[in-house]
Structures are given as structure tokens and as C-alpha cells.
Amino acid sequence: MSLASLTKDWAATSYGFLDASAKRELRRKMLKAIAVPGCQMPYASREVPMARGWGTGGLQVTLTLVNSASVVKVIDQGADDGVNAASIRRFISRVSGAAETWDTLSATIVQSRHRIPEEIMREDQVLVLQVPNPEPLRGVEPNISIARQMHADADYGKLWLTLYEQIVRKGRIMQGASYPAMVNGRHVMTPSPIPRWDVPKLNMARHLTFLSAGREKRLHAVPPYTRVEPLVFSDRPYQVEDHADLTCRRSGVRGFFMNELPQDGGGSVFEVSDSNLGIKAIDKADGSAIEIGETWYRNGEYSA
Amino acid sequence: MSLDLGLPALERAAPRLMRTEPLLNMRDISKSYGNVRALRDVDAAVYPGEVMGIVGESGSGKSTLLRMMNLEDTPDSGNYTLRLPGRENENLFDLTRYERRMLCARNIGIVYQNPHLGLLMKHSSSGNVAERLLIAGERSFEVLRDKAREALDASEFPLDRMDARPIELSGGMQQRVQLAKAIALEPALLLLDEPTTGLDVSVQALVLDTLKRLQRDRKITMVLVSHDLGVIRTMADRVMVMRHGEVVEQGLADQVFQDPQHPYTQQLVHAKL
């Protein structure tokens, strides 16, 4: 028996682009990340045909999870039709045979940058977030070795100190995105650059969330039904962005996270950030039989 | 501790008036850095409510000893206990990193000579004080602010500047912020490493005044390291004289300064006067 008889025949590509050993490593790290919610797991980030910083971390997790029965949705800043989102989605589909979709309800894997869809995700769905900086302590502790010790000791006082400073200087907490959140009462994570609006959606969520940083070679996870509590002072409640009263100028939906479009003359108009929600609302108003799922926010109030 | 002048041993015995147990007790501390013996069989005891001064020239080991009191460094051998509730007979050098950090944050305050070591220069002064409280688990913004204000006030820091960054403040003010941070949690032990060195004489006097008043009002146990005999003389109840990593003489401050026994101490006192 020769070694060649035990191995598979050479092929120009392997299924799902990544080679088997890379996927095995990622699977192990993903399982570890689920076992210790919010704790960052290092992994060997592979080359993918995309520059680091453009979602390579999320892409590697998606390529590991994907199979031919998967339905993949990719969001960039809430939109499905951005160049980056469209390219990633088409790439995943080409290397795995998975179906593509824009609809949150029909997707099995949602890879996203900056947003969590407004429609509530289910147990059978996985959210993969692309993370530029997985380390919540980076701003307060540049030394990565010390930062790891601080995680081990649950020494997060300096993060609260950052919030204290913001209140002292500006009168309110200014942290807009990457708002630090305590996962399962133990590890503080930075939930990628999702806005404050989206952080409550992770708390006791039905779906599994992976947050993966390809350039930083680390991933962490929020398993289903896990507590995610943004860091706050006991007398300064957590506040999401002031978007509850804004109306989308195209679709007319109201009470969701909006993109602000500055206009000549100083004013601005708003469009719903989760673009597919807007499209579905327009189609529904036109009389199509479109199902809009339950949303995390109703009338601008979080209620899940 | 091999000083034998045929005199009553002042070194090991506690002053007769001291009836309480020492708060801080260090036994047989030795430490080498390569070939350099920084500390050799040093014993130290500090009693509740007193100010212990440590004098000695540069390289005598006084700062190393203070760093060990703050659990920033561990010796090659030796034993260190603090009489804290529940920790009476525990050698603090055996604690894990986490226990050490919690114990230090709650029970030991320190003021460094260099404020860059003790302060976050880009955060507000009140934030620097609040950090201590945050480590101890305080999570109410108003309470943090009130307690920070209280501690800054106690160290006679001008409250209208409580949100200024230490980097914008004068040296004396920076030392006051350090002091406020150190006393914010009402520690059992306050360590002062050359707290007034580098300040001009008038500011030095003011900071020493604050320290004296704090000591009087709060009965904080202090260990004060300085090469300046004048500072030690104003502040300390008892004095430990160190040289080449050994304690050459210790006793009541007045006694040591009036009637130094060891030749080195005699030289030192002489040089000063």
C-alpha cells in the first residue's frame, strides 16, 4: 500500500475553497469559542482571495460552515447589494454550491459587516460577523500579553473608566459602535462595529453568532440563549441610537436603524439601513405576497 | 542584621510602648538580581497607625523593599504578612496574581516618586481615582464621582480641576492625585516612595502638610521611603536605615537622629546637619 492510495486524488480546488485541515482547525476553534462564550480563540487565518480587513475572518467561518444545502445572505452595512457583499456571496456560492438570498428569513447563514438584520433570527440560523478588532481592551491596554491577563482576571475596570471619561467629558456615553458587552457574565467582548442599536439583539438570542477577525486571527462566539450585557453604570442606563421616530423615505418603514443621507442645505433624509427589510416593505405595499418576519424592534422599542 | 555594638538591640525589638501586634510583618527577605544582592535577610515590622520611615542611599534596597510591600515584586526567600481580617497568617508572596491584585487594590495604597508610574495621564484626575473604586466593583456613576471628589478633597486637591488630565497639572498636583487615588478605598497601608522628591521646597512642605494631616485624621499606617532625612524627620515615628541591602539600624525617629549608633547612620545624620 502506498501513501498515494490513501489520499484523495489531486484536485485543483477543495470543496468550500479552504483545504480540509484549515476547516478542521477552524471547526475546533469554533467549538472552543462556543464552549467559552465571548472568549477569543486564536486561529491560523488562511489566505482567501480577498484582502485582509475586507471580511476574511467572517468568510473563513462561513466557508467552514457552508454546505450545498445552505442558503447564504451577506450584508455590508445593512445592504445586500454592495460590491463587497455581492462578491462575497457569489464567491461562497461558487465554491460550495450554496444558494444565495437577500431574505433574512430564508437564509441559513448570514454573514454580516456592521449590522444584525432587523428580523428576528431563528435557532436554525447562524450569524457570522466580520470583526476588525476583536480585543475590547485594545484601547486601554496596548500590550496584548497584559490584556490577556486582564481577561483571565476579569479585570475590566478600565473599560468602565473609558465610559466614565466619556460621561465626564461629553455628558453622555459616546461609544457608538463596538460597544463592549459582557458575555455570559464572564468575558467582555467587542461585538464588532455593530451599532448600539444591535447589541441587545445578541442577548438571549435564538441564533448562534460567530465573530471572526481574519487579520487579527482570532474568533469568538455567542451561543444561543446566552446573556450579552452591554457595560453600563447602574445609574446610567444603556441607550440605543435615537432612531425610533425616524421614517424611511423610500419604504416608509419606521422605528428601525436608519442611514442618514445629508442633503444640500443642511438637512438630511433617512433610509432604512437593513435594505432588504425596506425592499420587502415596498413589495408588500405593492401587493406582493411577501412575508416580513417578526422584528426585534417594534415601533422603535426593543421587545424580544 | 549582624550589627553588634554591645548596645541594647534596638533593631529587632519593638519599642516598649508598642503593645499591639504589627500590621505589616516582613521576615528574612532576600533578593538578588544576578550577582547583585538587593536585599539580605531584611526584617521589617510596621505598627498600626504609625509612620515608618526608610532611609538610605541610592541602591540601598529601600525601593525594592517598598515594591515588595506593594507585591509588585517577589523576593527569593522571605515571608510577608499583613494583619488584615482573614489573612493574618498568610504569606502574601504565595498569593496568585489575581488575589494579589485584589488585595493590593483594596488594602494597599501607593504614591510613586514618578507620577507617570501611578497615574493614567490621559484620563481625568477624578477618573484616576475612580479607577480604584471600579476595580473594587463600584458601578454607580454618581457614587464614583462623589467618592472621587471626597478623596481628592481629602488630599487637598482643588476640586474645580478634578476633571483635568494629570498631564496638564503641576508636579505637586499630580502627587495629590496619586495620593487621592491611594486613599480612595481607605487602605490599611499607605506606601510612599519618595513622594516629595522632585518638588520644590515650598510645594514639598505643602504636600508633607497634607500627608501629616491625613495621618492625624485617619490614622493611616504609612511607610515612607526617602533619601531626604528632613522629610523622614518631619513625618516618621520610627526609622529604618538601610545600606547595601541590609538594615543597619532602626528605632524611634528621634532616638536614631539624636543618638545614631551605627557609623553609617552617624555619617548620614552628620552630613544632613
Question: CA A68 → CA A98, A208, B126, B131, B259, distances in Å?
Answer: 5, 20, 58, 52, 91
Give me the CATH number covering residue B119. 3.40.50.300
SS3 B233: helix
For B23-45, what is each residue's pLDDT tens digit?
999 999 999 998 888 999 999 99
Residue A185's identity, in one-letter code, is G
pLDDT, tens digit, 9 for 90 and up, residues A20-72? 889 999 999 999 999 999 999 999 999 999 999 899 999 999 999 999 999 99
Q: Tell me the nearest-neighbour CA distance from A45 into chain B, angstroms.
A: 32
Does residue B167 sit at the A interface (CB-CB below 8 Å)?
no
Across the interface, which of A152, A161, A233 has its CB nearest the CB of B123?
Answer: A161
For residue A298, the tally of other CB atoms under 10 A from its CB is 11
- Following DSSP, what letter does each residue of B78-99 receive, concatenated? EEEEE--TT-TT--GGGS-HHH
- Kindly report the number of other CB atoms within 10 A of residue B192's CB atom: 28
> Are A151 and A137 within 8 A, CB to CB?
yes
- Number of domains forming the structure of chain B: 1
B7 domain residue, yes or no: no
Instruction: Provide the pLDDT for residue B17.
Output: 59
Mean pLDDT, range B152-169, rounded to an integer: 91
Beta strand B189-193 with B221-225 is parallel
Kindly determine whether residue A234 and residue B139, on different chains, have CB atoms separated by under 8 Å.
Answer: yes
Q: CB-based contact (8 Å) between A157 and chain B?
A: yes
User: Is the CB of B127 inside 8 Å of chain A's CB atoms?
Assistant: yes
Measured N-to-C along each axis, helices B171-183 and B125-135 cross at an angle, to the nearest 10 degrees, of 20
Mean pLDDT of B110-121: 90
Residue A165 near chain B (CB below 8 Å): yes
By the 8 A CB rule, do A39 and A4 touch? no
* C-alpha–C-alpha distance, residues A89 and B14, integer Å: 78
- Which cell numbers hold the place of A277? 427589510
Q: Which CATH number fits domain A20-135+181-230: 3.40.630.10, 3.40.50.300, 3.40.50.11310, 3.40.50.150?
A: 3.40.50.11310
By CA distance, what is B144's nearest residue in A? A164
Per the model's pLDDT, the better-predicted residue between A224 and A139 turns out to be: A224
Domain that holds residue B257: 24-272
A245 touches B: beta carbon within 8 Å: no
The cell 518638588 sits on which residue?
Answer: B199
Is residue A270 over pLDDT 60?
A: yes
Q: Nearest by CB to B130, from A152, A164, A234: name it.
A: A164
| pLDDT at residue B9 greater than cutoff 50 | no
Q: Does A145 reach chain B within 8 Å, measured CB to CB?
A: no
pLDDT of A180 reads: 94
Establish if B115 belongs to a structural domain.
yes
Contact by Cβ (8 Å): A259, A270: yes
Instruction: Please name the residues between 7 and 26 in chain B that touch chain A, using a CB distance below 8 Å.
Output: none
**HSE-up (13 A, CA, CB side) for residue A104:** 29
Chain B residues in contact with A236 by the CB 8 A cut-off are 141
B64-88: per-residue pLDDT in tens? Answer: 999 999 999 899 999 999 998 888 8
Instruction: Return the C-alpha cell found at B37.
Output: 544582592
For chain B, percent of residues with pLDDT exceeding 70: 92
What percentage of chain B reaches a pLDDT higher than 90?
Answer: 48
Of A161, A233, A234, the CB nearest to B127: A161
Return phi, psi of residue B77, to 5°: -150, 155
Q: Return the half-sphere exposure (C-beta side, CA atoms, 13 A cut-off) of residue A26.
A: 26
- What was the pLDDT predicted at B16? 55
A149 part of contact set with chain B, CB < 8 Å? yes
pLDDT band at B272 (very low <50, low <70, confident <90, very high): low
Taking the Cβ of residue A164 and every Cβ of chain B, the question of whether any pair is shorter than 8 Å is answered with: yes
Q: Say which of A165, A235, A236 has its CB closest to residue B123.
A: A165
Nearest CA in chain A to B134: A157
Contact with chain B for residue A225, Cβ under 8 A: no
CA–CA separation, A265 and B111 (whole Å): 56
pLDDT 10s digits, A134-161: 999 998 889 999 999 999 999 899 999 9
> Which secondary structure element, helix H or strand E, spans residue A78, and what is its range?
none
| pLDDT for res B268 | 84
User: Percent of chain A having pLDDT more than 90?
Assistant: 82
Are β-strands B238-243 and B51-56 bridged in parallel, bridged antiparallel, or unpaired?
Answer: parallel
d(CA A78, CA A112): 8
What Å distances lie between residue A124 and A26, A223, B161, CA to CA? 20, 12, 55
Question: Do A279 and A118 touch, CB atoms closer than 8 A?
Answer: no
Q: Is residue B227 part of a domain?
A: yes
Domain definitions of chain A by residue range: 20-135+181-230, 241-292
Query: In whole numbers, what is the pLDDT of chain A averaged over residues?
Result: 92
Going by C-alpha positions, the residue among B268, B245, B244, B243 that lies closest to residue B257 is: B268
> pLDDT by residue (tens digit) across A180-190?
999 999 999 99
C-alpha cell, B105: 487594590
How does DSSP classify residue A38?
Answer: T
Residue B219 pLDDT more than 90?
no
Contact B139 A149 (CB under 8 A): no
Chain A nearest-CA distance from B43, in A, is 32
* CB contact set of B259 (below 8 Å; sequence gap of 6+): none
pLDDT of residue B1: 45
Contact A65, A126 (CB under 8 A): yes
* pLDDT at position A129 over 90: yes
In a domain? residue B16:
no
> Within a domain: residue B14?
no
B101 lies within 8 A of chain A by CB: yes
pLDDT of residue B14: 53
Q: What is the ipTM of this complex?
A: 0.82
A155 touches chain B (CB under 8 A): yes
pLDDT band at residue B216 under the 50/70/90 scheme: confident
Average pLDDT in the B117-122 region?
A: 88
Contact B131 A234 (CB under 8 A): no
CA A109 to chain centre: 11
Residue whose cell numbers read 438637512: A267
DSSP calls for B11-25: SSSPPTT--SPPSEE
- Assign B273 a pLDDT band (cuts: 50, 70, 90): low
Residue A104 CA to residue A124 CA, distance in Å, equals 12
Burial of residue B201, with CB atoms counted within 10 A of its CB: 0-12 exposed, 13-18 middle, 19 or more buried: exposed
